[in-house]
Amino acid sequence: MKSIARRHPIGVFLTIAYGASAAIFAIPLLSSAGLGIIDLELPGMAPFILLSAISLAVAAFITTAMVEGRAGVRDLRRRLLHFRVHIGWYAFALLLLPATAFAAAVVLAGLEPVSALLANPGTLALVIVGAIVAFVLVNWWEETGWTGFVLERLQPRMGPIRASIVTTWLQAIIHLPLVFVAGGVTDSRVPAEQIPFYLVALFVLPISVRLVLTWLYNSADRSLPIVGLYHAGLGVATGTGFLPVLAPDVNPAWAYAAFAVLAAAVLVATRGRLGFQATEPGVRIQGQVAMAS
């Protein structure tokens, strides 16, 4: 198994991660909230999403141990617990996407969102607290797998832009069962005619978000807490407690248009490198490992 993992590390990681998530999401998918094959009522999707996120981190550590041994595990653990970065990175990571979405709302609705925020300052506090909770429970562990393992290995092989796109697609696959479960990607069941839109929302719209995340990861000394907070900020920016409250007349989908503008600005500013340097420490190990075909 170790020889296979060394030749195809990403393939082995995906086998473990997809297998674990398929087993976890099988229960809600088959339940009354999903396809209705099993007469089972569930309290919600949160426990299953939490287990899936943790399984991604476990898969990353298991595969790393097989591929790189203790040295690789120490490096992944260091990045997982790399909190000692400038404090500005924390505020930047958490607020960048909500601020971008809010700016889009101001462009489309004028000063109405500003007035709503000033009248209800607690709205921002609530969504930030919610984002921090999501970071601790879900996003930190998710990004240990997707950024700490997959993106870390893809960047040296195909460059940061293509690596970001491929990572987005691989991450989208694991969320596919949620499209067919009430409470998976929306608060209710996705109507059949809207499924194509949600597939685009999984595979296309997050690409711009991942491009900026890649830049943050490379620029903040490969800190997984920073990218986890950024991911949590996405939940704030596109959640029902933010733009729909501050700018109810603005379609939240416009937030992704603003994220695309942000990604384009980062691409131009970094000349497409997204902060990636070929001499980064991760390349030391990467040079010894072939990417999965």
Query: pLDDT tens for residues 216-265?
Result: 999 999 999 999 999 999 988 988 888 899 999 999 889 999 999 999 99
Does residue 173 register a pLDDT over 60? yes
pLDDT band at 138 (very low <50, low <70, confident <90, very high): very high
Q: How many whole angstroms separate alpha carbon 161 and alpha carbon 165?
A: 6
* 292 within domain boundaries: no
* 240 within domain boundaries: yes
Does residue 292 register a pLDDT over 50? no
* 256 within domain boundaries: yes
What does pLDDT average to over the chain? 91
* 291 within domain boundaries: no
pLDDT band at 279 (very low <50, low <70, confident <90, very high): low
Structural domain including 164 reads: 2-286
Query: pLDDT tens for residues 10-31?
Result: 999 999 999 999 999 999 999 9
Q: 3-class DSSP state for residue 292?
A: coil
* 293 within domain boundaries: no
Q: 3-class DSSP state for residue 276?
A: coil
* pTM exceeds 0.85: yes
Query: pLDDT tens for residues 198-208?
Result: 999 999 999 99
Number of folded domains that form the chain? 1
Query: pLDDT tens for residues 51-96?
Result: 999 999 999 999 999 999 999 999 999 999 999 999 999 999 999 9
Q: What is the CA radius of gyration of the chain?
A: 19
116 token code pair: 């709503």
Does residue 282 register a pLDDT over 80? no
Q: Residue 25, Cβ neighbours under 10 Å: how many?
A: 24
- Listed residue (44, 17, 49, 23) closest to 33, CA to CA: 44
The residue behind tokens 């020889």 is: 3
Higher per-residue confidence, 44 vs 164: 164
| pLDDT computed for residue 265 by the predictor | 97
Q: How many whole angstroms separate alpha carbon 71 and alpha carbon 48?
A: 31
| pLDDT computed for residue 73 by the predictor | 97
